[in-house]
Amino acid sequence: MSEEKNNVVEGTGLSGTGNFIHNYIQEDLKAELNKIHTRFPPEPNGYLHIGHAKSICLNFGLAKLYGGKCNLRFDDTNPTKEDVEYVESIQEDVKWLGFDWEDRLYYASSYFETYYQVALKLIQEGKAYVCDLTPEEMREYRGTLSTPGKNSPYRDRSVEENLDLFQRMRAGEFPDGSRTLRAKIDMASPNINMRDPVLYRISHAHHHTTGDAWCIYPMYDFAHPLEDAIEGITHSICTMEFEDHRPLYEWVVREAGYVENPPRQIEFARLGLTNTVMSKRKLRALVEDGLVDGWDDPRMPTISGLRRRGFTPESIRDFCERIGVSKANSMVDSSLLEHCIREDLKGKAKVVMAILNPLKLVITNYPEGQVEMVELENNPENPDMGTRQVPFGRELYIEQEDFMEEPVKKFFRLAPGKEVRLKGAYFVTCTDVIKDENGAILEVHCTYDPETKSGSGFEGRKVKGTLHWVSADYCVKATARLYDYLMLDNPDDPNGEMIMNPNSLEVRECYIEPSIANAQRGERFQFMRNGYFCVDTKDSKEDALVFNRIVSLKSSFKVK
Ligand code: ATP
Ligand code: MG
């Protein structure tokens, strides 16, 4: 059995001591590394998504668990794609998820001078050189997985010449792409990352924090280990694709002189979710091409999209806990995330009656103009949430699906001649079906039995079906947005494709019991039998509420 397999305990997340990262840390703690310090290092080139949430929970969670610290660090060494909009959204999202970096908010760009000094030191020690190969030539010289690379003809430049050229690179004397600074390691290394990797490139680009102060920028593989070392990070947790870069990470830390308690890079498998695209580049394309309503479209897997949809921070943390941490890349079923939000909301969200597909029901023997209040529990799973009064009358709406003129077998809801219970009110029996000239059903007519009032102790007979309903005169009209997965395929799978689901959004006019009128933006409800809904924070108006369906009550998504 491989080491990885031994260490993976599915679903244990942070609380499980079987998580292999805990094992590493416990080893380190035994070796008297007595405090742990992690970091979450997003590049501010997009909004955070549910995959980032996994990394946030892991980094902040480990720090919390071991009484250590976790920094928030913007990995902003690449000037062209970054933006303050992202810097702000990232902070908002990390806070919303429930994590606190206290006073430790850092920018990798604030260490530009330090990276430069380390580069000078490497040059002086003969461990770095300025190379004039073009990108194409460099690719040729690099070799392949099976053949070694060749030394660059510029590899043996003198320290003086290298210092002079590198300082002139910084001074802006050379055009973009004309020269690089490379580490002098080993062009024959079996690990391609160690074949004299580029440390600096020339780019006359404006940077969002340093402006035009620099026209050379460090490569990720050079800057990242230095950022960690500068901040005293003990465990640098990253995703599996950096595994082969680890020798270079260690080389940079060591050669820069951080020899005491150097940061330790540990890789884990990134999160992939079914029917979900998580690549920031592809998410940005969806936004820029107008295929979604911004980064916070409720169908997006971004933290801001999930928040707007109605997900809670608790449900996302619970999800991250359940998926656990392993080294084996795998695809998690989106239904697990849906399960987590149902679990969180079931005892918390107020349960109300809303009709998404209205059908008029008239109780012909109920006095016209009479209104009676019936009492309903706010949450049957949580009696502490109390009760409320809901108006009942002669004209109601029920769901179209709750009536069948010619009922199929085992249909226990309303049909001609059949009796059902109206939730919290009376038994009614269908006596008539009113249709238009084309045969479409306009209304169903019923009679009610006054003896059967809910709570009256009536035991005369039983009915199988209970329907939810709203009063036609006192209901509130609102908009309900029903969602399905944004993607038909699994675009993050190696063979997956980004095929948009044409039916990912369905908008309906719905009727809701009047208690909803005071709903606040962002408030979450269970619509009886129809799922959990959240009042949209952007599009809702005081007299025109918009509800996003977070999730149906049972997993009933159409797309596989
Ligand atoms: P980019 O392609 O823009 O670099 P990225 O997904 O690596 O995208 P970063 O902003 O660099 O984005 O990510 C910040 C941190 O979040 C990194 O440590 C990264 O490993 C982690 N991370 C990103 N995506 C996932 C994911 N799907 N699952 C787990 N962790 C992730
Ligand atoms: Mg990255």
What kind and span of H or E run contains 442?
strand 441-449
Cβ of 55 closer than 6 Å to ligand 1, yes or no, is yes
Query: Read out DSSP for 459-472?
Result: -S---S-EE--EET
Cβ of 41 closer than 6 Å to ligand 1, yes or no, is yes
Please, which residues bridge with residue 449 across strands? 427
- Domain of 212, CATH number, reads 3.40.50.620
Q: Which of 43, 97, 284 to mutate to test the pocket of ligand 1 (most atoms within 8 A of CB)?
A: 43
* Domains identified in the chain, total number: 3
- 200, 222 Cβ separation under 8 angstroms: yes
Cβ of 310 closer than 6 Å to ligand 1, yes or no, is no
Position 160 scores a pLDDT of 98
Position 8 scores a pLDDT of 32
Q: Does 556 map to a domain?
A: no
Cα 37 to chain centroid, rounded? 24
CA of 43 to the centre of ligand 2 (A): 6
**Closest residue by Cα to residue 319 from 298, 297, 334, 300:** 334
**Residue that is last in its domain, among 216, 244, 273:** 273
Q: Which ligand lies nearest the alpha carbon of 55?
A: 1
CA atoms of 114 and 176, how far apart (whole Å): 22
Cβ of 263 closer than 6 Å to ligand 1, yes or no, is no
Residue 418 among the catalytic residues: no
Q: Which of 40, 47, 52, 241 to mutate to test the pocket of ligand 1 (most atoms within 8 A of CB)?
A: 52
Cα 447 to chain centroid, rounded? 50
Cβ atoms within 10 Å of 47's Cβ, excluding its own: 26
- 360/294 same-domain check: no
- 525/493 same-domain check: yes
Range of the domain at 415: 351-475
Helix (H, G, I), strand (E, B) or coil at 274: coil
Cβ of 56 closer than 6 Å to ligand 1, yes or no, is no
- 548, 310 Cβ separation under 8 angstroms: yes
Q: Which of 58, 80, 233, 270 to mutate to test the pocket of ligand 1 (most atoms within 8 A of CB)?
A: 270
CA atoms of 389 and 375, how far apart (whole Å): 5
Place of tokens 């008239």: 362
Q: Of all atoms in ligand 1, which is nearest to the CA of residue 44?
A: 10
Q: Of all atoms in ligand 1, which is nearest to the CA of residue 54?
A: 29
Digitized pLDDT (tens) for each residue of the chain, 560 residues in all: 333 333 333 333 555 555 788 788 877 776 666 689 999 999 999 999 999 999 999 999 999 888 899 999 999 998 877 678 899 999 999 999 999 999 999 999 999 999 999 999 999 999 999 999 999 999 999 999 999 999 999 999 999 999 999 999 999 999 999 999 999 999 999 999 999 999 999 999 999 889 999 999 999 999 999 999 999 999 999 999 999 999 999 999 999 999 998 999 999 999 999 999 999 999 999 999 999 999 999 999 999 999 999 999 999 999 999 998 888 888 999 999 999 999 999 999 999 999 999 999 999 999 999 999 999 999 999 999 999 999 999 999 999 999 999 999 999 999 999 999 999 999 999 999 999 999 999 999 999 999 999 999 999 999 999 999 999 999 999 999 999 999 998 888 888 888 999 999 999 999 999 999 999 999 999 999 999 999 999 999 988 999 999 999 987 544 44
Cβ of 238 closer than 6 Å to ligand 1, yes or no, is yes
Phi/psi of residue 220, each to 5°? -55, -45
CA of 492 to the centre of ligand 1 (A): 13
Residue 477 among the catalytic residues: no
Q: What six digits make up the tokens of 329?
A: 């890349």
Q: For ligand 1, atom 13, name the residue with the nearest CA.
A: 42
DSSP secondary-structure letter at 108?
A: G
Cβ of 45 closer than 6 Å to ligand 1, yes or no, is yes
CA of 271 to the centre of ligand 1 (A): 10
CA of 279 to the centre of ligand 1 (A): 9
CA of 42 to the centre of ligand 1 (A): 7
CA of 520 to the centre of ligand 2 (A): 37
**Closest residue by Cα to residue 53 from 14, 6, 18, 81:** 14
Phi/psi of residue 440, each to 5°? -80, 140
Q: For ligand 1, atom 26, name the residue with the nearest CA.
A: 51
- 102/220 same-domain check: yes
Q: Is 522 left (phi over 0), alpha (psi -120 to 50) or beta?
A: left
Q: Which of 64, 81, 270, 508 is catalytic?
A: 270
Q: Which ligand lies nearest the alpha carbon of 238?
A: 1
Q: What six digits make up the tokens of 304?
A: 């801001």
Helix (H, G, I), strand (E, B) or coil at 547: strand
Q: Does 560 map to a domain?
A: no
Q: For ligand 1, atom 1, name the residue with the nearest CA.
A: 280
- 33/53 same-domain check: yes
- Domain of 506, CATH number, reads 1.10.1160.10
- 228, 39 Cβ separation under 8 angstroms: yes
Query: Read out DSSP for 319-375?
Result: HHHHH---SS-EEE-HHHHHHHHHHHHTTTSEEE-EESSEEEEEETTSPTT--EEEE
Position 10 scores a pLDDT of 34
Cβ atoms within 10 Å of 447's Cβ, excluding its own: 16
- 231/250 same-domain check: yes
Q: Does 557 map to a domain?
A: no
What kind and span of H or E run contains 145?
none
Position 330 scores a pLDDT of 81
Q: What six digits make up the tokens of 367?
A: 């006095």
Q: For ligand 1, atom 27, name the residue with the nearest CA.
A: 51
- 433/504 same-domain check: no
Place of tokens 């690379």: 149
- 210/172 same-domain check: yes
Q: Of all atoms in ligand 1, which is nearest to the CA of residue 59?
A: 18
- 415/386 same-domain check: yes
CA atoms of 47 and 295, how far apart (whole Å): 7
Position 498 scores a pLDDT of 87
- 190/323 same-domain check: no
Contacts of residue 485, defined as CB under 8 A and 6 or more positions apart, other chains included, come to 274, 275, 276, 299, 334, 501, 504, 557, 559
- 115, 240 Cβ separation under 8 angstroms: no
- 296/150 same-domain check: no
Tell me the C-alpha to C-alpha distance, in Å, between residue 98 and each of 53, 317, 323: 11, 9, 18
CA atoms of 337 and 377, how far apart (whole Å): 28
Residue 558 among the catalytic residues: no
Cβ of 52 closer than 6 Å to ligand 1, yes or no, is yes
End-to-end CA distance of the chain, in Å?
33
Q: Does 399 map to a domain?
A: yes
Tell me the C-alpha to C-alpha distance, in Å, between residue 312 and each of 93, 143, 175, 339: 12, 50, 49, 12
CA atoms of 391 and 137, how far apart (whole Å): 79
- 330/439 same-domain check: no
